[in-house]
Structure 1
Amino acid sequence: MARHLTLVRAPQDPLDLLPAVHAALDGRAPLAVLPAGPPAAEAAARAVLRPEQPLEDGADLVVVTSGSTGSGRGVLLPAGALRASGEATLARLGGPGSWLLTLPVSAVAGLQVLCRSLLAGTAPTVLARGEPLAGALARMPGGRRYTALVPTQLRRFLDAEPTALRAFDGVLVGGAATDPALLARARAAGVAVVTTYGMTETAGGCVYDGEPLDGVRVRTGGGGIELAGPVLALGYRLDPDGTATAFEGGWFRTRDAGTLDPAGRLTVHGRLDDVVVTGGVNVAPQAVEGALREHPDVADAVVFGRPDDEWGQRVVAAIVPASGADPDLAVLRPWVAERLGAPAAPRELHRIPAVPTLHTGKPDRRRVSAALSQEAH
């Protein structure tokens, strides 16, 4: 008998979603969560999910990706992958505990907080909009306490509430590259931060602090990262060609570059399709962003490439200046060059009020690039 998806809008109170997530984890009712926000976002998700079409065999949760490199896709996750991911995470962190939800439940990172809570038999706590971290922490039960953040949140909480951050037994950070300087600062402050690498296709983070979770395998053939193990998705919703391209022989081909050291520890170098090739040199935007954020006059930054007649591509930086600061290229180019080499130094600089993000918390480079292109015209 054909199964069909149940589509649920992300509720105002994410805890209202727990019964539906529980049913999906048990394989009783396949689920997809529509993103909260403008009607266009929901319409785009519905176009990907096409609930009128029967659901592929074995799928229990369908998550629409953020579309950071183009149109979003519906990722088909079986309950077994969600359980394997959640159980391996709890084992790596030191056992069951209560979770603080700070991320949208339309993305896999937020959904996994609900899944891990259900697997642990604990009640999650939701960080309310504008609520201090300490306030949410005070509402959490005793015992081990965990949360999951994107790097922007880690930076904000580290600036404003380091004491509250230190109270967590594990702070997972993922969804985007985390600056080494930010990690060092968090660890120096006594925060139990754990970097996570993974994606919707791996039921969320599956490599913690460079080491794969139990059952997960990693290889880097040709410089591209490939992942395997019980956390893998089945493929993409109504996209057999895309599934065949990305999933083969039990492995998932990511779009990320990385290397493994002799001990099998993974270092991620950035997205293969984000690399800016300038003067024949590959420049990773994430590395440039990290260097810029280290400058005292830069609060945040997003970096991308634009066509250039002389260099092929030029490195473009859009920065959020620190309060009262107004840095220019004459200051920032040598700062980046000293840390990453001259080719990585931006050749074009823009000032923006804030770095826009996708609903997953990742910086939306496409949106910034498109907005600045429109301004130029």
Structure 2
Amino acid sequence: MDNTAEALWRHAQAAPDSVALRDDAGVSWTYGTLRDRAGALAASLREAGIGPGDRVLLVAPAVPEFAVAYYGIHAAGAIAVTANTMSTAHELHYVGQDAGVALVLGWIQIGPAPAETAARLNVPYWPMTTGMPDLAARTGPDDPHPTGGDDTAVILYTSGTTGRPKGAQLTHGNLNACAAMIRRAHEVTAADHCLSALPLFHVYGQACVLNTVIHTGASLSLLPRFTPEGMLALLARDKPTFMAGVPTMWNALLRAAGGHRPADFAGLRHAVSGGASLPGEVMYAFQEHFGCAVLEGYGLTETTGAGTAHVTGRPRRPGTVGAALPGCEITVRDTDGAELPDGEVGEIHISGPVVMKGYWNRPDATAEVLRDGRLRTGDLGARDADGDLRIVGRKKELVIRGGYNVYPTEVEEVLYQHPDIVEAAVIGVPDDHYGEEVAAAIAVRDGAELTGDDLRRWAKQRLSAYKVPHLITIVDQLPKGPTGKILKRAISPALFEGRR
């Protein structure tokens, strides 16, 4: 069986009392309990007429109840459409409408946006509460619904620099392959315990962490909202063997660790880093302070978060993101698609069982990035003679702020809705803490008295917090080419100095 929920059922049968998940309050969920609640949700979905191929919008933070809903949706044969908990009702409506969801599941503590979205879409809304007590007395199916490896399991919305967000379809085969690759690369066993503060709605936390843990039969401690103090407390309490995060987290932990020494983290084997490039000095400082290796990796939503990794027992080269994961192939190609020799910079292509099925209802967009089974990533890099990949830049204008993807066109579309703005351009500016900060250069109408603070307050009502431009400069006009197109490459980061 290819259904991703099958691993949960298998481990619950073999070791029902083994701990699968722990929350930040110390409450443990065994494999048996997690399976029972997920099965009960699957039964509820079926009674509501939701089954194979139907889409369910899931909006929840990194809590055990996310896993109940996620695997329950899969056990019913349905498709999980996971969305950012910081999304506004406007953003959720777009995702829900585009995916054609039949139901909205929302964590009750995140606010009214999920319920408002369900009402606007005219579909049922089921609130998710701590412990999911309404499922405790229910009986679920004996086994998850049979699915094929090419059946869509999840739709994750992402986009490039143009157009609206697109739904990347990841299959049950994609998710299982990702878990198997990471399990093998990092030598994860059922005896391991992972700690993560990554959001589970994102491909990294969902596919690379949660699914790998459940696939293996290991355990996972979840921190719903990252703080260095909270992460350090869980490190001391749960004594994980490895943890997963993004560079901003490792930076923050280094600053907060204070008098801690490597002996305080005995048993911590490694930290897996992704989402953005990790500076070499941070890697070395973290290893010295925490006594564990930092293993970088590279992947995209469209590759189930997987592609390359520094692996256990192999020399790590700072500035690289490791070699292709087992089963994946990484090639660097020129603009015509011809493969380039080692050392030459070109566009990175990824092939293998983790490459997405395609974009939901977007055949043209799918054909643009998928060629002969290879995904054109839009990222530029070079591979060395040992197969290690170095990322040198992005063809896309994507901004990665603290591990979150920010798409300039989406932000610009909102900025242009402001009555005082006549021109807007959003770019990424290097930032010591977040890796990149979202910056907006704008031109306003004559006589307008718009300030950066005014605009930020206005934007926060329409955009998730991490998408709001934190660096804003007002100019007479933006640079343009002969056709009148705004030239972002002519906007220098220096323009935003002193705007922090």
Q: Deviations over 1:54-81 (max 9, x none)?
A: xx97211111227677632211001111
1:125: which partner in 2? 221
What's the CA shift for 1:249?
A: 1.1
CA contact (8 A) 2:183 2:212 kept: yes
What's the CA shift for 1:25?
A: 6.1
Relative to 1, partners in 2 of residues 1:264 and 1:27: Cα closer, same or farther, differing over 3 Å? farther
What's the CA shift for 1:136?
A: 1.3
The DSSP-based 3-state class of the residue aligned with 1:220 is: strand
The DSSP-based 3-state class of the residue aligned with 1:132 is: helix
What's the CA shift for 1:233?
A: 0.8
* Number of residue pairs the alignment of both structures matches: 303
Query: Which residue of the other structure, out of 365, 379, 387, is the alignment partner of 1:242?
Result: 365
Q: Does 1:7 align with 2:108?
A: no
Q: Deviations over 1:169-213 (max 9, x none)?
A: 221111112223322322343332111100111111320132111
Superposition map of 1:286-297 within 5 A: 289=430, 293=432
1:60: which partner in 2? 153
RMSD in angstroms over aligned alpha carbons? 3.6
2:379: which partner in 1? 256
Superposition map of 1:152-301 within 5 A: 152-161=248-257, 163=261, 168-189=268-289, 190-209=291-310, 210-222=322-334, 223-274=346-397, 289=430, 293=432
Please give the alpha-carbon distance, in whole angstroms, between the structure 2 residues aligned to 1:250 and 1:233: 10
CA contact (8 A) 2:199 2:224 kept: no
The DSSP-based 3-state class of the residue aligned with 2:206 is: helix
Please give the alpha-carbon distance, in whole angstroms, between the structure 1 residues aligned to 2:99 and 2:281: 39
What's the CA shift for 1:100?
A: 1.7
Please give the alpha-carbon distance, in whole angstroms, between the structure 2 residues aligned to 1:50 and 1:171: 38
Relative to 1, partners in 2 of residues 1:135 and 1:99: Cα closer, same or farther, differing over 3 Å? same
Query: Which residue of the other structure, out of 65, 74, 82, is the alignment partner of 1:16?
Result: 65
Query: Which residue of the other structure, out of 302, 313, 326, is the alignment partner of 2:436?
Result: 302
Paired-residue identity, %: 25
CA contact (8 A) 1:100 1:148 kept: yes
What's the CA shift for 1:114?
A: 1.6
What's the CA shift for 1:167?
A: 5.1
Q: Does 1:134 align with 2:232?
A: yes
Please give the alpha-carbon distance, in whole angstroms, between the structure 2 residues aligned to 1:150 and 1:225: 21
TM-score, normalised relative to structure 2: 0.53
CA contact (8 A) 2:56 2:81 kept: yes
Q: Deviations over 1:207-264 (max 9, x none)?
A: 0132111101000011000000111110111111101111121110001001111222
2:84: which partner in 1? 35
CA contact (8 A) 2:307 2:330 kept: no
Unmatched 5+ stretches in structure 1: 276-284, 294-298, 308-351
CA contact (8 A) 1:30 1:61 kept: yes
TM-score, normalised relative to structure 1: 0.69
Aligned partner of 2:234: which letter? A
What's the CA shift for 1:90?
A: 1.5
Q: Does 1:102 align with 2:203?
A: no
The DSSP-based 3-state class of the residue aligned with 1:372 is: strand
1:323: which partner in 2? none
Which segment drifts farther, 188-197 or 198-207? 188-197
CA contact (8 A) 1:173 1:196 kept: yes
CA contact (8 A) 1:65 1:107 kept: no
1:149: which partner in 2? 245
Please give the alpha-carbon distance, in whole angstroms, between the structure 2 residues aligned to 1:376 and 1:177: 35
Q: Does 1:368 align with 2:491?
A: no
Aligned partner of 1:36: which letter? T
Unmatched 5+ stretches in structure 2: 1-50, 104-147, 311-321, 335-345, 399-426, 442-455, 478-500
Rg larger for: 2
Please give the alpha-carbon distance, in whole angstroms, between the structure 2 residues aligned to 1:165 and 1:66: 39
The DSSP-based 3-state class of the residue aligned with 2:271 is: strand
Relative to 1, partners in 2 of residues 1:219 and 1:166: Cα closer, same or farther, differing over 3 Å? farther
